[in-house]
Amino acid sequence: MKRNTVTVLIGGIAAMMVAMGIGRFAFTPILPMMMENHLFSPAGAGYLASSNYLGYLIGAFLLTLVQVNNRSRLLLVGLIGSIVTTWGMGEFHSLEIWLLLRFLSGLASAVVFVIASSMVMDRLSQLQAGIFYGGVGAGILLTGFSVPMLAKTGDWIEVWKGLGLISLLLGLAAWYLLRDKHSGAKTVPSPRNEQSSGGRRILIWLTIAYGLEGLGYIVTGTYLVAYAKTVSNLPNIASLSWILVGIAGAPSCILWSKLASQWGKKWTLTFSMILQSVGIAIPVLIHSSTAVFVGAFLFGATFMGITMLTVSFAKDLYPQNNRKIIGLLTTFFGLGQIIGPLIAGHLISGNGSYLSALIGAALIVLLGAVSLPLGIGSTDRKQLKLSR
């Protein structure tokens, strides 16, 4: 592997750890600590999660509209935003300010995800890109270990601030290693064959499936650790379940990339979403700590693989316009993420149980899985070569 490739990979992984692994998903392992202090209800947690995903949605949508002339500068802004909002969660003690911070954190996450993905996908192969997306799992693994360690010397306030400092170190490394050597972004006209009806049809069904994935997966992404604490008195079950998500997630994209080279992206995506729906449902169908760990592992093993496969699939269809296409897909994914925690939070608060919320999420992801082969299946053969 060339030195420049290694540099890009390390920078990309660090960026994903800051904006996604910490900026977006650290809320999940810290959530039980904040709820134990009666800072908000499950419904309030849903509002905080949805606020974050609203920011993510708006950030992704704006990136489909604006002309980006300096990706390095925009990446730096996104990284700074993620670092500051992570620290700020421990600095302020107001639900209204937390809602604003989670919104801004989501905005920053979208900027870093779309811009870093665009920069990395320009320079790396699909298998190498799988290593890059594993940075989200690495970030989750980092929070799984660091949250309980930071909690030993303080409460949830010190946890947020400690993660803010970790984000600062990783963010500096990410920007230094990923920044473009020249300032202008290349604008390349889209080739004619990208405008075929087959390509558009595949993209439409890919977007629908990815939107349903966002709607379903995020329920587990928000409430997994909180639910784990209701299942067993096993010490540290919450932390262990989240660590397991990170362990499964870090190498998952590499494995899904290899599988896609044999099965094709369409069937690999379908299988991964079916597997995820099973992982979401298992913990509530079998009420045990083992089921929680199995569900956590399957969730970690699939959620970033699905994102990587979707983005890579779209890049095959629109190779010269990947930033806007990634932004479009992320917009619909973000829309699903806003709706999911709001509905789930009210179901959990109203029923006093996680059953209906998690089973509903599993069915939504399963619907997305089924929609992919059914929707793409009738497309013309020439375009189907990309999806097999």
Is 187 within a domain? no
Residue 189 lies in a domain: no
- Whether 188 is in a domain gets the answer no
Segment 137-155 shows an average pLDDT of 90
Residue 211 has pLDDT above 80, yes or no: yes
Structure token pair of residue 15: 């960026």
- Whether 173 is covered by a domain: the verdict is yes
Whether the predicted pLDDT of 315 surpasses 90: no
pLDDT for position 190? 42
More confident residue, 190 or 227: 227
pLDDT at residue 194 is higher than 50: no
Q: Is residue 25 part of a domain?
A: yes
Has residue 295 been placed in a domain? Answer: yes
DSSP-derived letter for residue 183 is: S
- Indicate whether 186 belongs to any domain: no
Integer-rounded Cα Rg, in Å, for the chain is: 20
Range of the domain at 159: 3-181+194-384
2: pLDDT strictly greater than 80: no
Most confident of 209-213, 228-232, 238-242: 209-213
Half-sphere exposure of 333 (CA within 13 A, CB side): 25
Report yes or no: 260 and 207 within 8 Å, Cβ to Cβ: no
pLDDT (tens digit per residue) in 169-178: 999 999 999 8
Instruction: Scan for tokens 């990284």, then name that residue.
Output: 79
Please give the model's pTM, rounded to 2 decimal places.
0.82
157 domain residue, yes or no: yes
Using pLDDT thresholds of 50, 70 and 90, give the confidence band for residue 200.
confident
pLDDT score for 336: 87
User: CA angle 244-249-255, nearest 5°?
Assistant: 130
What are the pLDDT digits (tens) for 271-282? 999 999 999 999
Arithmetic mean of pLDDT, 115-125: 81
In Å, how far from its chain's centre is CA 346? 23
Nearest Cα to Cα of residue 82 among 111, 62, 58:
111
Tell me the percentage of the chain whose pLDDT exceeds 90: 47
* Average pLDDT estimate for 237-242: 83
pLDDT tier, 196 (very low <50, low <70, confident <90, very high otherwise): low
Lowest mean pLDDT among 195-204, 234-243, 348-357: 195-204
Burial class (CB in 10 A: 0-12, 13-18, 19+), 192: exposed
Burial of 277 (0-12, 13-18, 19+ CB in 10 A): buried
Give the range with max mean pLDDT: 50-59, 193-202, 346-355: 50-59
The total of other beta-carbon atoms located within 10 Å of residue 216's CB is: 29
Query: pLDDT averaged over the chain?
Result: 86
Closest listed residue to residue 318, CA positions, set 176, 203, 178, 233:
203
Residues 133, 13: Cα–Cα separation, whole Å: 7
Average pLDDT value for residue range 112-130: 81
Tell me whether residue 322 is exposed, middle or buried, using C-beta atoms within 10 angstroms of its C-beta: 0 to 12, 13 to 18, 19 or more: buried
Which CATH number characterizes residue 173's domain?
1.20.1250.20
Domain count, the chain: 1
- 201 with 375: CB under 8 angstroms? yes
- Residue 36 reports pLDDT greater than 50: yes
CA–CA separation, 121 and 133 (whole Å): 11
Q: Where do the DSSP E strands lie in 54-134?
A: none
Mean pLDDT of 197-225: 87
- Higher pLDDT: 164 or 42? It is 164
